[in-house]
Amino acid sequence: MGVFIVKCFSICLFLIFNAFAQKIEKGFGIGWGYALNEKTIPEGVYRLAYLQGRIAYNLIYAKLPTNPIFKKLLLGVEPQYNRVWIDNTPKEWEAGLNFFLQPTFFLNKIFQPYCIFSLGPHYFSTPTIHQRQGFLFSDSIGIGSYVSLHKKVFFHFNFRLRHLSNANIHLPNFGINTYNFHCGWVW
């Protein structure tokens, strides 16, 4: 099942990345996350590894004043497949699609910091005592930066606080909070 999801994810990213013009930012990344404390779930410490795509539209493209405070205001999506490790359970997974808003500040041509706010549906395969397996929501807030590698190619990295829960649709619903580090390339 996991291999099928990764293949579908890859094909969708390829088609999306080749379908749009300059106003669109495209990219991919990897990441690592872990529980805010070791008592988040009784089964053990919650850890995850990210494989993440990225596509966004710049809402203020080509409408910038001479000295703008924001270089970009991105509205986009991040499809992701995440491998999950919990101390006393077999390797599990989660998959989802986060929608995000990202204002990017212009400091200079090389270093451009940003903040990011995201929200979206996920599927969680791991049954735990505090969080039910199945459909949930992921929301996160974070800060990061672009570092210019070439004229239109950037390395980006960010730190996010993330919360997973199912909005009390099903019990149990204690939620899972994680620290997350992301990095990748955009063009």
pLDDT score of 175: 86
Strand partners, 121: 137
Domain that holds residue 178: 2-186
**Whole-angstrom distance, CA of residue 184 vs CA of residue 168:** 33
| Burial of residue 164 (number of CB atoms within 10 Å: 0-12, 13-18, 19+) | buried
Candidates 154, 76, 158; CA nearest to 114 is 158
CATH classification at residue 73: 2.40.160.20
Count the residues in the chain.
187
Beta carbons of 52 and 29 less than 8 angstroms apart: yes
The answer to whether the beta carbons of residues 45 and 86 sit under 8 Å apart is: yes
pTM for the model: 0.83
Contacts of 137 (CB under 8 A, 6+ apart): 119, 120, 121, 122, 164, 165, 166, 167
pLDDT digits (tens, 9 = 90+) for 77-135: 999 999 998 887 778 999 999 999 999 998 888 999 999 999 999 998 987 888 888 99
- Average pLDDT score, the chain: 85
Distance CA 151, CA 70 (A): 18
Average pLDDT over residues 51-73: 79
The reported pLDDT for the residue numbered 52 is 96
Count the Cβ atoms, other than its own, within 10 Å of residue 168: 9
Query: Is the pLDDT at 46 greater than 80, yes or no?
Result: yes
- Does the structure show a pLDDT above 80 at 177? yes
Q: How many domains does the chain have?
A: 1
Q: Which residue has the higher pLDDT, 102 or 71?
A: 102
